A and B are shown apart, each in its own frame.
Chain A
Amino acid sequence: MTDKYTQFVSHGIGKDLAKRLGLPQPAVLRRYKAGEPLVPGPVLVLGSGDGRTAGSDELAGALAGWGLDVRRSALPKEKLGAIILVLDAVEHPEELAGPVLTAAPSLRDLAPGARVVTISRTPASAASPAVAAGRQGVDGLLRSLAKELRAGATANGILLGDGAGTTSPSTLGALRFFLSGRSAFVDGQFLTVTSGTGQLPADADKPLAGKVAVVTGAARGIGAAIARTLHRDGARLVVVDIPAAGDHLAEVANEVHGTALQLDITAEDAGKRIINQAVERHGALDIVIHNAGITRDKLLANMDEGRWNSVIGVNIASQLRINEALLGSDQLRKTPRIVSVASTSGIAGNRGQTNYAASKGGVIGMVRATAPLLAEGGGSINAVAPGFIETDMTARIPFATREVARRLNSLQQGGLPGDVAEAIAFLASDAAGGITGEVLRVCGQNLVGA
């Protein structure tokens, strides 16, 4: 559910009032529903130079193959569903002008919930300062543009590593994710495609068909939403939570037709028990979502050992131990996918959350260092960092603080548990196989933490 304020200012008297008073006017976001069009209108594809580069031509061809209405130039006053800036050939900041200024007038003609996506190369591998400048320029451009868009439109970027091109499976996978309603609360973010591995699904509405997934902390909130989303996408599920949350866990298991595993993930043998349940009951294990986490907030000056240790123990130490079991097991199917839930607190810090931020920063470090270990088997590991999400946990924040926190992003609203789940489901799919060691923020481009 969108929050009450957003509903109020979305139509009628509330909309009028908000406009006159200059109040924030968050839009009702375009979210994924099976059967709905990928984008709300034609897609304008612009390359650098004269607008027609090899990379952009190939991409336009691929998008036309999806049945999209692809345009290489905009018609005046026509509402566009998306603008894709293919900047992979940019070798100097001056080369940005062409595509960017061509796209500029069309920004006024974006349909509600439209998308702008840039595709460019990572600056890290640039051969010269000018090339690096051109590529890094895209970063600033995209993040600023995301802040200018209105009506639920978002802007995100895809960065290509040396091993990836504009039509690599995961470039197309990430593009599809950014264009669709699945990325509703992802704004101003980049995803790096490092390799040409990965595979697009046979059925775009069932990208996880045949996969067996484990979700920890699945009894409620974001975890339950992850379980529902993975189930919707075709996965079979083992849902895990502590024994004391078993009743909620059973409800989720029965809803997603999975099996419930009442387990404290800090147990020494947690990894083994997770693998056993998946393999014995469901015949395989493909995907593990580390979602379970706790908060025990206190200023560091008032922090006690119990608060600090329990947060580190549950939020990161357990993940390290379970991953060790996963990596050491011969029972994982090929191309295993691991996705961890981090937090924007782990990136930007948060007062009263030194323990939590340490644990979530730890998750990010763990994900980056585990990526090469999984790469040999074609596997991947990534993290998703949620910003302000409307959950039971954030509902307990005092009203005024909560109201400020949820508006402090480009979309001027809190995200929903399902928004986090969508990003996780994408990173758990084979379409994201060429993306690994990444941290994707689902925060509506929160002003905190860049």
Chain B
Amino acid sequence: MPATHSASAPHESTATPGTLRRAVVVGGNRIPFARTGGAYTKSSNQDMLTAALDGLIARFGLQEERIGEVAAGAVLKHSRDFNLTREAVLGSALSAETPAYDLQQACATGLETVLGLANKIKLGQIDSAIAGGVDSASDAPIAVSEGLREILLDLNRAKSLPERLKVLSRMRPKDLAPDAPNTGEPRTGLSMGEHQALTTAQWKISREAQDEIAFNSHHNLAAAYERGFFDDLVTPYRGLSRDSNLRPDTSMEKLATLKPVFGKSLGAEATMTAGNSTPLTDGASTVLLGTEEWADSRGLPKLAVVVDGEAAAVDFVHGKDGLLMAPAFAVPRLLARNGLSFEDIDFFEIHEAFAGTVLSTLAAWEDEEFGRIRLGLDGALGKIDRAKLNVNGSSLAAGHPFAATGGRIVASLAKMLHENGPVDGRPARGLISICAAGGQGVVAILEAFSAPEGR
């Protein structure tokens, strides 16, 4: 088995021009997600991404391997981390000859790295890839104020001592206040939670329905850990072997006692609590992708195939749609392109930014008027079978380190599809839906791997 490949060795593509190859999900690895200010307080994005990579390398024996390309990103990113992914690769056990690039698309970052790299594999540009994402709200970048930044830059340009003193004399005490990051939307000034509170109210989503989503998330995730589902998906880090946000013993009663934290201006209609909203979280995830041949030549598993993906965006600035409603538009377009309906989907992985987001999206799909007017359909897009929704838990329980969520979902879904086996003689199919800041959303379809006909 070749352990190393020379950087100059020509890349032997198995692609025939004009035909697409299949991009296979081999597996994944993530570190447990930790609530911000917890176990990973002292860990940087680079530390966590490197740890997630090293766990993946160990699981699949990729030491000194030259991978086609690695793509990952972070939402909260220090300016020094301009080459975050490449630096993580250099610190990992992969071959130093593995190229890497950073990508940033808010909370859709992780899923977009999977889609971008899968496309490269399908086109025959690369045979293997690692997609990923990381975020730390604990080790978040803090910038100097805009005033101080201008002064420092002018100071750098000043040529003489009198000029420098003149520049420095502009400094005022308020300039010394640091500029901490926040999740507020630059164009509206509203936080993501406040935006969702408006959407949640607009779709008349009840408090109880939201708490039920949260309850299921915790219980499904806990059960998955108990039966060892995550044994080959998660590698412990810094003393944590499970997601620290997970509350296996939470109950509807406990969730009902929590006070609303978003949409308080709505008064009695405020429904969004700390229990049905995701907390700030630190963590990292990775997904190993490759062609069938690449996986076979290394004796690696072939769990699922990346079928297709779609991005959408909404005009939330003028209030036309809710900030996190883009997937409501992306999913019907993706299904239509692939000739599929909800009945053809066996697993729905809808990222739980807030329980309200999941329920607002489902409500839009079930709404006749939304289907006709906004989606241009004959009626409602349809109703999903709730028994197929986030069956092994999602972000409300696991936490949501922004860019790491896509990798978490893709790796877990690929394993679920593989374990499920065929449905009615066809491979099991899963739909991923992730909303993102800026009114964006990225969605994707994965299918259980099955050997092509005639083999």
Contacts and interface: CB of A to CB of B under 8 A. Distances in A.
B3 A263 contact: no
Given A258-B61, A281-B61, A250 B231 contact: no
A243 B58 contact: no
B63 to A, nearest CB: 5
B54 A244 contact: no
B241 A246 contact: yes
Contacts of B246: none
Given A253-B58, A262-B232, 8 more contacts: A246-B236, A250-B59, A253-B59, A253-B63, A254-B57, A257-B61, A258-B61, A259-B59
Interface string B197-232: 000000000000000000000000000000010111
B61 A245 contact: no
Nearest to A237: B61
Interface in A212-262: 243-247, 249-251, 253-254, 257-260, 262
A368 B55 CA distance: 38
Contacts of B59: 250, 253, 259-260
Contact of A244 (B51, B55, B241): B241
Contacts of A283: 1, 299
B236 A247 contact: yes
18 contacts: A243-B228, A243-B236, A243-B241, A245-B236, A246-B55, A246-B234, A249-B58, A250-B54, A250-B58, A254-B93, A259-B59, A260-B59, A260-B235, A262-B231, A262-B232, A262-B235, A280-B299, A283-B1
Nearest to A282: B299
A282 B231 CA distance: 20
Interface in B83-123: 93
Nearest to A253: B58
Contact of B3 (A247, A257, A259): A257
Q: Which 5 A-B pairs have the closest CB atoms?
A: A250-B58, A253-B58, A260-B58, A254-B93, A259-B61
B437 interface: no
B151 to A, nearest CB: 45
Contacts of B235: 246-247, 250, 260, 262
Contacts of A263: 231
A251 B298 CA distance: 21
Contact of B54 (A251, A259, A282): A251
B12 to A, nearest CB: 21
Contacts of A257: 3, 61, 63-64
Contacts of B3: 257
Contacts of B1: 283
Interface string A253-282: 110011110111001000000000000111
B299 A250 contact: no
A243 B241 CA distance: 8
B61 A250 contact: no
Interface in A259-311: 259-260, 262-264, 267, 280-283
B133 to A, nearest CB: 19
B236 A254 contact: no
Nearest to B239: A247
Interface string B295-307: 0001111000000
A259 B93 CA distance: 13
A267 B228 CA distance: 10
Contacts of B234: 243, 246
B354 interface: no
Interface in B165-206: none
Contacts of B33: none
Contacts of B54: 250-251, 254
A251 B235 CA distance: 11
Categorize the interface residue count of chain A: 20 to 34
A254 B231 contact: no
A5 to B, nearest CB: 33
Contacts of A281: 60-61, 298-300
B237 interface: yes
B32 to A, nearest CB: 10
Contacts of B58: 249-251, 253-254, 259-260
B232 A254 contact: no
Contact of A259 (B60, B228, B230, B236): B60
A242 to B, nearest CB: 9
A254 B236 CA distance: 15
Interface string B266-303: 00000000000000000000000000000000111100
Nearest to B29: A250
Give the one of A247, A249, A257 with max B CB within 10 A.
Answer: A247
A251 B50 CA distance: 12
Nearest to B59: A260
Contacts of B55: 246-247, 250, 260
A30 to B, nearest CB: 32
A370 B148 CA distance: 76
A250 B237 CA distance: 11
Nearest to A258: B61
A333 to B, nearest CB: 15
A254 B55 CA distance: 9
Interface string B38-59: 0000000000000100110111
Given A246-B235, A262-B231, A280-B299, A254 B63 contact: yes
A244 B64 contact: no
A254 B59 CA distance: 9
A243 B231 contact: yes
Give the one of B230, B236, B298, B301 with max A CB within 10 A.
Answer: B236
Nearest to A260: B58
B36 to A, nearest CB: 20
A104 to B, nearest CB: 53
Contacts of A262: 231-232, 235
Nearest to B232: A262
B51 A247 contact: yes
Nearest to A279: B299
Nearest to A250: B58
A254 B298 CA distance: 16
A257 B65 CA distance: 10
A254 B64 CA distance: 9
Give the one of A244, A249, A257 with max B CB within 10 A.
Answer: A257
A73 B251 CA distance: 84
A245 B240 CA distance: 10
Give the one of B55, B230, B234 with max A CB within 10 A.
Answer: B55
B231 A247 contact: no
B354 to A, nearest CB: 30
A253 B54 CA distance: 9
Nearest to A267: B228
Give the one of A244, A249, A250 with max B CB within 10 A.
Answer: A250
Interface string B237-281: 110010000000000000000000000000000000000000000
Nearest to A262: B231
Interface string A158-199: 000000000000000000000000000000000000000000
A249 to B, nearest CB: 7
Contacts of A259: 58-61
A5 B232 CA distance: 43
Give the one of B1, B3, B58, B301 with max A CB within 10 A.
Answer: B58
Interface in B135-159: none
A280 B1 CA distance: 13
Contacts of A280: 299, 301
